[in-house]
């Protein structure tokens, strides 16, 4: 093992032995090279006043060399904020701006100890860093039965985790904290678990209420008290799109500094929140009361970034930073929030009108981009194909009964036509199956 990795491990183990236990084999080996090209180049940036011939970019007239066919369309920004490499952990100013945003939007974080967000190539990459640092083959990754399908590929297929499922809803159609607790406590023999929490949930659009949120935290605390080391990850992809009376903060705030056996990790980003899906700007943030552990986890994360993508795209970091600093940003964001909320409300109004009662129920939703129908009489995949082929309507079939509808993509005035057509389609499929 590299000497630097050993030093990081010693620092983590000294202050936070349970966090050390959570690290995967790869996580233990990981470090950020101190003596390589990046550090020599950083040193030269500060001291090489005559010629700086260190890093693999090209300079001209004291700026990164560039082509006008590209630069002319990006002239609002300085070439150094577009063409040069961003640092592996991301633009420092963007990292601080995101931290400030986290504190503003999550008052429960204000008395907690957590690190500076590290820029990732959007949320998927942040989740893959969690998987690389903390998952060994056979480790349990606990997710609800309704989940984003990519978790399985990332944690299960890629890292060999054992995926453990619990039903998302209980009989009262609330979050099934008892199911989560049971799934966690079942990991006693392993002594370790990774718990993934995603609210607003993909695919259902559900965010628990404040009381349910407390039960989630208690389930994790119970696991820790039973001797299980828990990496508690919040995937806050759809943060801020809370349309009703649910929690309006990330659970990360309540999980920070909860118990020595709990490591809270927040994965979030601009992707869905700021409507910049293709920009690929996300963040990973760790919580620990130990500054040394925060530093070591940051170094290990930077090592993974250096080894995989080297650094994230610079232009999109510049664009997101510019937005965060803009005085118009909050108002523009609220405007889009109200459009999305209007769509969610309209969907609920249509569904609650009773006009589709014989064809489906729907899973409780109050946030995010999606909602999910629970079909009563027809198979979800059969209906999906029928809607696509006969009506040119695209939906997502999940399992036997569930059909996910992204109301985020449909203008409010078209929602009735959309759901009326899905209903019509369901009746046709039902009739065909009888014939």
Reading the block at residue 46, the tokens are 């500060």
Listed ranges 21-29, 120-128, 210-218, 311-319: which one lies at the site for ligand PLP (CB under 6 A): 120-128
Listed ranges 4-12, 100-108, 119-127, 219-227: which one lies at the site for ligand PLP (CB under 6 A): 119-127
Whichever of 233 and 426 has its CB closer to ligand PLP, that residue is 233
Tell me the H-state helices in 309-397.
314-325, 329-352, 380-391
Whichever of 16 and 124 has its CB closer to ligand PLP, that residue is 124
Strands (DSSP E) contained in 93-172 are: 118-120, 140-144, 162-166
Residues 248 and 256: their CA atoms lie apart, in Å, by: 17
Q: Which of 16, 154, 202, 215 binds ligand PLP (CB under 6 A)?
A: 202
- Strands 360-362 and 282-286: what pairing? unpaired
Listed ranges 117-125, 155-163, 174-182, 387-395: which one lies at the site for ligand PLP (CB under 6 A): 117-125
Q: Least distance in Å: CB of 158 to ligand PLP?
A: 15
Whichever of 129 and 302 has its CB closer to ligand PLP, that residue is 129
Residues 6+ apart with CB under 8 A from 198: 143, 147, 148, 234, 235, 236, 237
What is the footprint of ligand PLP within residues 135-194 (CB under 6 A)? 148
Reduced to 3 states, what is the DSSP secondary structure of residue 308?
helix
Q: Torsion angle of alpha carbons 89, 95, 99, 104, nearest 10°? A: -150
Listed ranges 21-29, 83-91, 116-124, 422-430: which one lies at the site for ligand PLP (CB under 6 A): 116-124
User: Is 207 a residue that touches ligand PLP (CB under 6 A)?
Assistant: no
Whichever of 103 and 276 has its CB closer to ligand PLP, that residue is 276
Q: How many CB atoms lie within 10 A of CB 76?
A: 10
Q: Least distance in Å: CB of 60 to ligand PLP?
A: 34
Helix axes 314-325, 329-352, angle to 10 degrees: 90
Whichever of 324 and 350 has its CB closer to ligand PLP, that residue is 324
Whichever of 202 and 288 has its CB closer to ligand PLP, that residue is 202
Count of positions on this chain that bind ligand PLP (CB under 6 A): 11
Residues 133 and 296: their CA atoms lie apart, in Å, by: 12
Q: Quote the DSSP letter at residue 194.
A: E
Q: Which of 282, 303, 312, 364 binds ligand PLP (CB under 6 A)?
A: 282
Residues 98 and 210: their CA atoms lie apart, in Å, by: 24
Residues 224 and 21: their CA atoms lie apart, in Å, by: 13
Site string for ligand PLP, 222-261 (x = CB under 6 A): -------------x-x------------------------
Q: Which of 271, 285, 401, 408 binds ligand PLP (CB under 6 A)?
A: 271
Q: Least distance in Å: CB of 275 to ligand PLP?
A: 12
Q: Which of 24, 106, 124, 246 binds ligand PLP (CB under 6 A)?
A: 124
The answer to whether 121 and 312 are in contact (CB under 8 A) is yes
Q: Give me the residue label for tokens 């990732």.
A: 120
Residues 18 and 21: their CA atoms lie apart, in Å, by: 5
Report the interface residues with ligand PLP, using CB under 6 A.
122-124, 148, 198, 202, 235, 237, 269, 271, 282
């Amino acid at each position: 093992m590299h000497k630097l990795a050993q030093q990081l491990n010693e620092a983590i183990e000294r202050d936070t032995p349970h966090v050390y236990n959570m690290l995967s084999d790869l996580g233990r080996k990981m470090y950020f090279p101190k003596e390589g090209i990046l550090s020599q180049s950083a040193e030269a940036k500060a001291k090489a006043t005559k010629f700086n011939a260190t890093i693999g970019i090209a300079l001209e007239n004291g700026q990164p060399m560039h082509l006008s066919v590209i630069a002319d369309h990006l002239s609002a920004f300085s070439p150094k904020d577009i063409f040069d490499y961003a640092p592996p952990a991301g633009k420092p100013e963007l990292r601080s701006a995101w931290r400030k945003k986290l504190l503003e939007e999550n008052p429960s974080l204000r008395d907690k100890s957590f690190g500076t967000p590290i820029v990732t190539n959007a949320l998927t990459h942040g989740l893959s860093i969690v998987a690389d640092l903390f998952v060994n083959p056979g480790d349990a990754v606990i997710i609800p039965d309704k989940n984003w399908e990519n978790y399985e590929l990332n944690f299960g297929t890629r890292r060999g985790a054992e995926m453990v499922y619990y039903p998302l809803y209980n009989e009262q159609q609330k979050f099934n904290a008892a199911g989560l607790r049971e799934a966690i406590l079942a990991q006693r023999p392993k002594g370790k678990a990774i718990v993934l929490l995603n609210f607003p949930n993909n695919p259902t659009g559900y965010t628990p209420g404040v009381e349910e949120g407390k039960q989630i935290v208690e389930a994790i605390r119970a696991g820790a008290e039973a001797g299980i080391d828990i990496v508690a990850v919040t995937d806050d992809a759809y943060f801020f799109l809370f349309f009703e009376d649910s929690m309006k903060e990330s659970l990360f705030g309540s999980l920070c500094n909860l118990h020595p056996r709990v490591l809270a990790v927040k994965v979030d980003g601009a992707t869905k929140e700021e409507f910049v899906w293709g920009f690929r700007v996300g963040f990973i943030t760790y919580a620990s009361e130990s500054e040394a552990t925060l530093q070591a986890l940051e170094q290990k994360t930077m090592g993974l970034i250096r080894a995989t993508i080297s650094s994230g795209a610079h232009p999109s970091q510049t664009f997101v930073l510019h937005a965060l600093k803009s005085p118009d940003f909050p108002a523009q964001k609220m405007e889009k929030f109200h459009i999305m909320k209007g769509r969610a409300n309209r969907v609920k109004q249509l569904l609650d009108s009773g006009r589709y009662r014989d064809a489906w129920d729907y899973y409780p939703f109050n946030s995010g981009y999606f909602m999910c129908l629970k079909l009563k009489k027809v198979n979800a995949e059969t209906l999906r194909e029928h809607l696509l082929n006969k009506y040119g309507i695209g939906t997502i079939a999940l399992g036997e009964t569930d059909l996910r509808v992204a109301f985020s993509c449909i203008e409010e005035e078209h929602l009735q036509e959309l759901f009326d057509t899905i209903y019509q389609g369901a009746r046709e499929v039902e009739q065909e199956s009888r014939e």
